[in-house]
């Protein structure tokens, strides 16, 4: 069986290999991005502190520093640890897509399970630079999402996100079509939308977990 590591995925390769199509009017993506979610004032104040640090350091931080000082704290503030699912980082998982075994370690994912991930709902990739020598961040994220879709037996959309410096891009995959949002820039007022979208994701995944349990 052919194996493909997420790190080697590009959008062009995945489109050609799996007959995927990027769409620009996705109901699932629009519903996620537009979903209302209450953000307490206390969380807003913490976000602004994170943002000040990002503005000062984003051009100099390497990937690990960006993750430790900004991305990780933002995810922790949302808090994806529940009895039904958890946030995992750098965990191996795989799924067979057609005749190809897709495998790798996403930078992060939200999946059912407590100690180990079982069924992934959300995949995350982070890059410091627009062009990284190890590949295409959108393609790597989509590759992980394809594997997650197979693990979940196509029961629901799969969600994703990749970050390049201050720019956050959100993704959805359903069957053979996927969508990618415009950039949300964390050094600007978009920080509030980024956090709202991540909070909404927790609500969406809670509903999915209830439905498939």
Give tens-digit pLDDT for 133-188: 556 899 999 999 999 999 999 999 999 999 999 999 999 999 999 999 999 999 99
Per the prediction, the chain carries an average pLDDT of 93
Mean of the pLDDT values across residues 12-32? Answer: 97
pLDDT the model gives residue 131: 40
Band of pLDDT at residue 209, cut at 50, 70 and 90: confident
- φ, ψ (nearest 5 deg) of residue 100: -115, 130
Report yes or no on whether pTM surpasses 0.85. yes
Q: Six-digit token pair at 17?
A: 């290999």
pLDDT the model gives residue 128: 56
Q: Is the pLDDT of residue 64 over 50?
A: yes
Long-range Cβ pairs for the range 44-48 (8 Å, 24+): 44/192, 46/77, 47/74, 47/77, 47/191, 47/192, 47/195, 48/191
**Region of poorest pLDDT, from 74-78, 110-114, 123-127:** 123-127
Exposure on the CB side of residue 180, measured as CA atoms within 13 A: 17
pLDDT the model gives residue 181: 98
The helix/strand/coil state of 86 is strand
Mean of the pLDDT values across residues 124-141? Answer: 73
HEC readout, 133-180: CCECHHHHHHHHHHHHHHHCCCCCCEEEEEEECCEEEEEEEECCEEEE
Name the β-bridge partners of 1.
none
Q: Is the pLDDT of residue 55 over 80?
A: yes
Find, among 168, 180, 171, the residue nearest to 121 by Cα: 171
Secondary structure element (H or E) that encloses residue 185, with its range: strand 184-185
As a whole number of Å, the CA-based R_g of the chain is 16
Q: Which domains does the chain have, with CATH numbers?
A: 2-212 (3.90.1570)
pLDDT the model gives residue 213: 60
Helices marked H in the chain — which ranges? 11-18, 27-34, 41-57, 63-66, 72-78, 137-151, 190-212
| Rounded percentage of the chain residues whose pLDDT exceeds 70 | 95
Q: Is the pLDDT of residue 94 over 80?
A: yes
Mean of the pLDDT values across residues 65-79? Answer: 95
Q: Is the pLDDT of residue 6 over 70?
A: yes
Mean of the pLDDT values across residues 19-34? Answer: 97
Question: What angle is formed at CA 3 by the lines to CA 137 and CA 176, rounded to 5 degrees?
Answer: 60
Mean of the pLDDT values across residues 18-29? Answer: 96
């Amino acid at each position: 069986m052919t194996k493909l590591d997420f790190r080697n995925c590009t959008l062009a390769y995945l489109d050609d290999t799996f007959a995927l199509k990027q769409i620009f009017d996705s109901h699932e993506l629009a519903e996620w991005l537009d979903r209302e979610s209450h953000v307490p004032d206390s969380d807003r104040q913490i976000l602004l502190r994170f943002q000040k640090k990002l503005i000062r350091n984003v051009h100099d931080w390497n990937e690990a520093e960006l993750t430790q000082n900004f991305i990780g704290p933002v995810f922790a503030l949302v808090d994806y640890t529940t009895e039904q699912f958890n946030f995992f980082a750098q965990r191996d998982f795989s799924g067979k897509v057609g005749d190809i075994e897709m495998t790798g370690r996403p930078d992060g994912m939200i999946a059912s399970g407590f100690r180990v991930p079982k069924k992934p709902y959300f995949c995350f990739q982070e890059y410091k630079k627009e062009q990284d020598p190890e590949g295409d961040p959108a393609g790597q994220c989509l590759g992980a999402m394809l594997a997650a879709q197979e693990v979940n037996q196509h029961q629901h959309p799969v969600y994703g996100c990749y970050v390049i410096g201050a720019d956050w891009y959100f993704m959805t995959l359903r069957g053979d079509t996927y969508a990618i949002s415009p950039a949300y820039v964390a050094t600007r007022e978009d920080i509030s939308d980024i956090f709202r979208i991540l909070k909404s994701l927790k609500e969406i995944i809670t509903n999915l977990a209830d439905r498939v349990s």
